Amino acid sequence: MKTILDETRELASSTCNRYLDEARKQGRSIIGYFCSYMPEEIIHAAGFVPYRMRVVESKGTTKADAYYSSINCTFVKQCFNKALNGDFAFLDGVVFVNGCDHSRRMYDNWRFSGIDPSFLHMFFAPHVIREVSYEYFARECEKLKLSIENHFKVSITDEALGKSIGLYNKKRRLLAKIYSLRKKKNVPIKASELLGVMLAVTAVPVEQAVEILTEVKNFIEGRVVSRPEDLRLFISGGCIEEIEHLELIENCGSVIVADNICLGTRHFLDEVRTEGDPLTAIADRYLSHLSCPRMMGDFNRRFDYLLAIKDECGIDGAIIEKLKFCDIWGGEIYLHRVEAKKKNIPLLALERELYGGGAGQIKTRVQAFLEKLKNRQAADEGLVQAAGSDYKPKL
């Protein structure tokens, strides 16, 4: 029988889905967006459906290569290639964010190529967290609101924003609950399954997402997917949307129990406060949430999150990933390496291409990492000391 996780996986494996078709039939516009710094509530309060842009079903980068170069990342090239192929024809607008150099140029290339939709908005997210940036970010939220209102001839009221905030907070709470279940010794949901859930709930109307998440929460209660011998991992990175990639890591003998990824904790951690001016509240939450390394001077907070979650979730090791040519995550890997060594956290840094193959290579590296972790555990348990320095644990 088809379970809710099968359904979310199905939703995750296609660009468009029946919920979006239904929403369109009801006259709701679909607005694509990039980045965890883009407040979905503003789009939703207009009566629209925010849709997180994705690369799934990509057929390559042939067309996008004419706009980009060989040193641009595979996420933006594949995503833009899909746009050029008309795969995002169901969108009524796209909101871009200056998340990184590659993605901010997509705003330019999209406009320049003249493809639909006509509503293309650049949403500026500051790179620093300080008083002036909160003010500026709140104004950017206001500009986005006005831009949607003017283009679509709709009105976004404070009341609607308040309702949207409530709904998205509900979604966040459900996600937080599901994620927190992974802290248990017996993990009820795999990270690969959860990624499918995340991809699904960012591609359907939030009302539907809440229903899906409620079902997922109920479904996984009492479920156990981890094996006692599995090593517990933390994963961090920018663009991770291939379910198969996480399955590969899990199948090597691990269970991923926590993360700091765009389609993960960064998406739901911290709620928008419900009192006061809604746009200010939205700006406050989105600027101060668990940060992406694009936020300058906030590394300590990101690393502290790992330290905090390490004990809470019983993490044995961490994997940090980046896509090729990503400066932002490249720098984060350097900092993680230095600090993880100091704090004695085993760390594996991976570089890869999105849907770029190389599974064998990644598997070898993950296997070697897990083997190292197991040896370390054996050593920690005193086996090596007891048996002498030439002891090789049989695992």
Give the binding site for other proteins (CB under 8 A): 66-69, 71-73, 76, 98, 100-102, 104-109, 112, 122, 124, 126-128, 130, 132-133, 136, 139, 293-294, 296-297, 299, 324-328, 330-335, 337-338
Q: Which is nearer to other proteins, 114 or 357 (CB)?
A: 114
Is residue 41 helix, strand or coil?
helix
152 or 299, CB closer to other proteins?
Answer: 299
Helix axes 278-288, 131-152, angle to 10 degrees: 120
Least Cβ distance, residue 286 to other proteins (angstroms): 15
Rounded (10°) angle between helices 4-12 and 206-220:
140
| Least gap, CB of 63 to other proteins (angstroms) | 10
DSSP count for the chain of H helices, then E strands = 16, 8
Which of 181/307 has CB closer to other proteins?
Answer: 307
Shortest distance, CB of residue 16 to other proteins, whole angstroms? 26
Strand partners, 93: 31, 119
CB of 67 or CB of 369, closer to other proteins: 67
Closer by beta carbon to other proteins, 250 or else 332: 332
| CB of residue 243 to other proteins, shortest distance in Å | 26
Nearer to other proteins, 334 or 391 (CB): 334
Q: How far apart are CA 11 and CA 202, in angstroms?
A: 10
Cβ atoms 44, 23 nearer than 8 A? no
Nearest approach in angstroms of CB 139 to other proteins is: 6
Q: How far is the CB of 203 from other proteins (least distance, A)?
A: 26
DSSP for 200-269 reads HHTSS-HHHHHHHHHHHHHHHTT-----TTPEEEEEEES----HHHHHHHHHTTEEEEEEE-TTTHHHHS
In 3D, which of 304, 40, 348 has the Cα closest to residue 175?
40
